[in-house]
């Protein structure tokens, strides 16, 4: 741990900037408002509540009920939203905003996300010299963007020569910094987690090149200090089933779960694509058992089907054999997420890649469309995946993910009915309220990102 000791002052500096949604106030939020709502979907119940009033003071919901139950106090502003449906703020459970850092680009992505209904994101691997300042600015309302939870990620020997990590740790040594740490047999895991906490993280991400027992020790060390532990679906050689049995709070990437059906390579960079012939006649027993295990344990699946579609598009434009590895086809990823849903696995909405720059809405809408059309979810189930399950993926369900008294006032106002046409409704956003502050869709220019990259 001598390399970590050399980074103590940097970690403490970053810790001052980093924070979680429970411990700060947004700037200039109205003191008290009563929102009159025609229809409200709370993110948890399978019903649509009619004729509701939501009382917001500063950044939190302090009362919620029918118009008959909630009157108006003198001097409190009534905001009649009209004939609309209100849903909880959406949560993207898998983004990357600073790997490597590009402040203008990150802010533009964050603006598109917020004005598209996303009020929180989970950043799954970035440069934590830059990301916490973005998180602080969004938290306080200095910039328009979602709240950001972010990770330290741990991996075994042989992983940190990855070019992506080199780009996100320039000036330091990847694998020897608190939020990007190589785990060796002699690593003191309690100290490693403590140092990562000093960087202001929201959870530990277990990435690659670790045996199942060592991954289990990391999960236990994170939980012992009150942090969630998140993992790639396969950690090579640790299997998905080993991670679930060890208590991982969420697993990312549906295609990685398919490795449960075949022999596991020992190194992340030695992996081949999934042998899809194993799935030709249906779901192998080992994967069915894995899904049942996840459902029983309450493990959240951050499926990221969207990213497999994105990789396929990239590879189609390149010579054969070029481009990033795909793990499995988009078709198999859609089949697997449908099977996971049928098995009762809690699925969150994560994308792992942004929408193309010329698109007006964030990629979460496409991931939600996949869950609706390919996984067989109802509109209310998809909204639950994008709100309540997203909050669970972050460990922030006591603060957000549903519209309930005491939680942050994070919600989206839709002109159209999401039960009639979910995607059309999500594109009919009129305003997004985050921590009690309104962001009107009309204020957003859909060509901001495209202009930035010209």
95: left (phi over 0), alpha (psi -120 to 50) or beta: beta
Q: Taking the model in full, what pTM does it have?
A: 0.92
Tell me how far apart the alpha carbons of residues 193 and 216 are, in angstroms, rounded to a whole number: 14
Interior CA angle at 191 toward 186 and 197, to 5°?
140
How far is residue 414's CA from residue 427's CA, in Å, rounded to a whole number? 8
- The encoded tokens of residue 383 equal 């909204």
**DSSP bridge partners of 85:** 39, 414
Neighbours of 141 (CB within 10 A): 19
Tokens 């049928």 -> residue? 342
For the domain covering 2-11+90-399, report its CATH number: 3.20.20.140
- What is the H or E stretch that residue 308 is in? helix 305-316
Q: CA 96 → CA 102, 121, 179, 428, distances in Å?
A: 11, 9, 14, 26
Residue with tokens 């502050």: 437
Return the axis-axis angle of helices 379-386 and 364-373, rounded to nearest 10°: 140
d(CA 305, CA 291): 17
Q: What is the pLDDT along the chain (454 residues), one digit of tens a residue?
A: 433 333 333 333 333 333 444 444 444 555 789 999 999 999 999 999 999 999 999 899 999 999 889 988 777 889 999 999 999 999 999 999 998 899 999 999 999 999 999 999 999 999 999 999 999 999 999 999 999 999 999 999 999 988 888 888 899 999 999 999 999 999 999 999 999 999 999 999 999 999 999 999 999 999 999 999 999 999 999 999 999 999 999 999 999 999 999 998 899 988 888 999 999 999 999 999 999 999 999 999 999 999 999 998 888 888 877 777 778 999 999 999 999 999 999 999 999 999 999 999 999 999 999 999 999 999 999 999 999 999 999 999 999 999 999 999 999 999 999 999 999 999 999 999 999 999 999 999 988 887 876 6
Query: Does the CA dihedral 352-357-362-368 come out positive or negative?
Result: negative
Residue by residue, DSSP assigns 355-376 as: PPTT-SS-THHHHHHHHHHTS-
- Contact (CB, 8 A) for 409 and 433: yes
Determine the distance from the C-alpha atom of residue 227 to the mean position of all C-alpha atoms in its chain, rounded to a whole number.
16
Terminal alpha carbon distance of the chain: 44
Q: What is the dihedral of CA 381, 387, 390, 395, to 10 degrees?
A: -120
Q: What DSSP letter does each residue of 184-237 carry, written as one string? A: -TT--HHHHHHHHHHTT-SEEEEEES--HHHHHHHHHHHHHTT--EEEES--SS
């Amino acid at each position: 741990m001598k390399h970590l000791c050399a980074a103590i002052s940097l970690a403490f500096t970053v810790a001052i900037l980093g924070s979680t949604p429970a411990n700060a106030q947004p700037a200039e939020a109205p003191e008290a408002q009563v929102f009159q709502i025609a229809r409200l979907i709370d993110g948890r119940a399978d019903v649509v509540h009619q004729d509701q009033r939501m009382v917001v003071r500063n950044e939190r919901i302090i009362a919620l009920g029918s118009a008959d139950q909630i009157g108006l106090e003198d001097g409190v502003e009534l905001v009649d939203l009209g004939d609309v449906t209100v849903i909880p703020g959406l949560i993207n459970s898998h983004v990357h905003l600073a790997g490597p850092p590009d402040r203008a680009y990150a802010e533009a992505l964050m603006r598109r996300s917020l004005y598209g209904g996303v009020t929180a994101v989970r950043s799954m691997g970035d440069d934590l010299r830059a990301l916490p300042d973005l998180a602080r600015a969004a938290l306080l309302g200095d910039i328009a963007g979602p709240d950001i939870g972010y990770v330290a990620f741990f991996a075994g020997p042989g992983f940190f020569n990855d070019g992506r990590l080199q780009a996100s740790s320039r000036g330091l040594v990847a694998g020897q910094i608190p939020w990007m740490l190589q785990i060796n047999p002699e690593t003191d895991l309690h100290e490693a987690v403590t140092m990562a906490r000093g960087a202001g993280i929201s959870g530990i991400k277990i990435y690659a090149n670790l045996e199942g027992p060592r991954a289990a020790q990391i999960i236990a060390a994170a939980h012992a200090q009150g942090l969630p532990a998140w993992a790639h679906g396969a950690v090579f050689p640790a299997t998905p089933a080993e991670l679930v049995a060890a208590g991982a709070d969420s697993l990312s990437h549906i295609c990685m779960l398919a490795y449960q059906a075949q022999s596991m390579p020992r190194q992340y960079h030695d992996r081949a694509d999934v042998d899809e012939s194993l799935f030709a006649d249906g779901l192998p027993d080992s994967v069915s058992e894995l899904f049942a295990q996840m459902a029983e344990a309450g493990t959240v699946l951050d499926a990221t089907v969207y990213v497999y579609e994105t990789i396929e598009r990239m590879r189609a434009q390149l010579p054969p054999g070029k481009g990033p590895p795909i793990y499995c086809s988009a078709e198999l990823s859609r089949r697997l997420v449908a099977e996971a849903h049928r098995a009762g696995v809690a699925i969150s909405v994560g994308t792992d890649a942004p929408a193309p720059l010329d698109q007006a809405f964030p990629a979460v809408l496409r991931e939600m469309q996949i869950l609706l059309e390919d996984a067989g979810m109802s509109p209310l189930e998809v909204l639950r995946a994008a709100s309540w399950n997203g909050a669970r993926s972050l460990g922030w369900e006591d603060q957000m993910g549903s519209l309930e008294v005491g939680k942050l006032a994070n919600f989206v106002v839709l002109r159209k009915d999401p039960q009639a046409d979910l995607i059309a409704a999500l594109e009919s956003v009129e305003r997004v309220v985050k921590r009690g502050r309104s962001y009107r869709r009309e204020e957003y220019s859909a060509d901001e990102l495209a202009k930035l990259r010209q």
